[in-house]
Structure 1
Amino acid sequence: MLNKILVIDDDPAVRGAFKLILEEEGYDVKEAEDGLQGIEMVKIERPDLVFLDLRMPGIDGVETLRRLKEYDESLHIYIVTAFAAEFMHQLKDAHAEGLKFEIASKPLSASQIRNIAQVVHVAKAHEERRASHHKLVLTLYVVSLNSETRRMVEQISAVLAGIYEPGRWVFDVVEVLGMPEKALEKEIFATPMLVRDIPEPVLKLLGDLSRMSSVMAAITTQTHGSGVQTVII
């Protein structure tokens, strides 16, 4: 969910207008009065969207853009200015460098400000969906860890590392005897079995685990599209 927005502008009236409009929509809005302050604020807490002025005291908006992108290339930056023509050559150079940004002319109406925030929100949601596509999350519940189960855990980890790229899989092991009683009552132990999209080598190892007396349940969740699939053995 996009909720953190930073407005970098030397005009307090402009910053106040953005803050009022966006906070009414539920966004958390921070203000910076110049580029250097804005850069420091980004380093403290990464915003989901930056509204950036061009003509400011100290470093101008183009240099601020360049330094922000150098720090975090993935930042969503929307330049809002009345001086686009004055900075056009610098903006073209920034674009030629591969810096990604959007630009709009001042003044912006309240609806335009809201629409920009909403467009970035939708783009961020798509990025998150792409990032979660085919990410395997495996949680193994065992009565207690012993040498046999530890050896099997190492084998599963090795198989997953061979199938998935780093960051595309998570493998957790939970000792049931150490779980509070309320956790044991969760519905995960009654979830229907769904095994599609689970790699065959992983299924084989889960089958081996299911025959071990120390294993209570092996639960695998696969994020795929909008659904979560779970397997209980």
Structure 2
Amino acid sequence: MLNNILVIDDDPAVRGAFKLILEEDGYVVREAENGEQGIEMIQDMRPDLIFLDLRMPGIDGVETLRRLKALDESLNVYIVTAFASEFMDQLKGAHDEGLQFELASKPLSASQIRNIAQIVHVSKVNESRRASHHKLVLTLYVVSLSPETRRLVEQISAVLAGIYEPGHWVFDVVEVLGMPEKALEKEIFATPMLVRDIPEPVLKLLGDLSRMSSVMAAITTQTSGTGVQTIII
């Protein structure tokens, strides 16, 4: 389960705010004041989630990200910055290299910080479920559940129940009210849609959901074969 979070930021006030907010929810929070220190710390203990600043003395956040991923490409990294536009070319380069990360804008509210931790927590729960041989794990992230969204969620549940045997599928809906918007400048952070392994009736309903402003993303993973991750934004 998610319990170990690392905050890499040269501003002690920022690190202190993250620590105060997250420790109230029971997380273990460690602090690094620069990229080099953060890299050393993950070698001692792998964090479940990393909050990473961009503008820091020494190596910047993008280079820190590159070195972190070289050590463990599965690390969950949220870059939190007020300087995304300044670093956009470097971020695009990191994305083109295949480095996986999320981007959020400073300042983050307490609820936004908690929501990010919740999303990663749900992801780890789903990893555990996939290890239990579920054929399909579907997680839908919404800003808030509207009546129209609820109706489509019910339809998806009914379709899944008709396609899969009981215990072979999981469908979670996570409300992330107040979540910062993902940085999608020039769509460089948009993940391509992979649809070949999603049942057609479910795919159609997900397409309907993806057009709603309240829906952030629908993420599915099938575990037959090697497993495929699908993100519809």
Deviation of 1:33 after TM superposition, in Å, equals: 0.1
Residue type at the aligned position of 2:10: D
Q: Which has the larger radius of gyration?
A: 1
Equivalent residue number for residue 83 of structure 2: 83
Equivalent residue number for residue 49 of structure 2: 49
Partner deviation per Cα, 1:91-120 (whole Å, 9 max, x = no partner) = 000000000000000000000000000000
Q: Distance in 1 between matches of 2:88 and 2:13?
A: 25
Equivalent residue number for residue 119 of structure 2: 119
Counterparts in 2 of 1:69-148, with a 5 A limit?
A: 69-133=69-133
Q: Distance in 1 between matches of 2:132 and 2:14?
A: 37
Counterparts in 2 of 1:142-161, with a 5 A limit?
A: none
Equivalent residue number for residue 34 of structure 2: 34
Q: Distance in 2 between matches of 1:82 and 1:66?
A: 20
Equivalent residue number for residue 17 of structure 2: 17
Between the two proteins, what is the percent identity of the paired residues? 81
Q: Distance in 1 between matches of 2:112 and 2:85?
A: 21
Q: Distance in 1 between matches of 2:72 and 2:127?
A: 16
User: Which runs of 5 or more residues in structure 1 are unaligned?
Assistant: 135-233
Task: Report the number of matched residues.
Answer: 134
Residue type at the aligned position of 1:67: R
Residue type at the aligned position of 2:127: E
User: Which runs of 5 or more residues in structure 2 are unaligned?
Assistant: 135-233
Query: Is 1:58 aligned to residue 66 of structure 2?
Result: no
Deviation of 1:131 after TM superposition, in Å, equals: 2.4
Deviation of 1:75 after TM superposition, in Å, equals: 0.3
- Give the alignment's TM-score, normalised by structure 1: 0.57
Equivalent residue number for residue 7 of structure 1: 7
Q: Secondary structure at the residue paired with 2:5?
A: strand
Q: Distance in 2 between matches of 1:61 and 1:128?
A: 30
Q: Distance in 1 between matches of 2:16 and 2:70?
A: 28
Q: Distance in 2 between matches of 1:46 and 1:88?
A: 28
**Runs of 4 or more above 2 Å deviation:** 131-134
Q: Distance in 2 between matches of 1:55 and 1:115?
A: 24
Pairwise CA RMSD of aligned residues?
A: 0.9
Deviation of 1:132 after TM superposition, in Å, equals: 3.5
Deviation of 1:133 after TM superposition, in Å, equals: 2.4
Residue type at the aligned position of 2:3: N
Q: Distance in 1 between matches of 2:129 and 2:19?
A: 29
Q: Distance in 1 between matches of 2:127 and 2:57?
A: 35
Q: Distance in 1 between matches of 2:132 and 2:78?
A: 26
Q: Distance in 2 between matches of 1:7 and 1:35?
A: 10
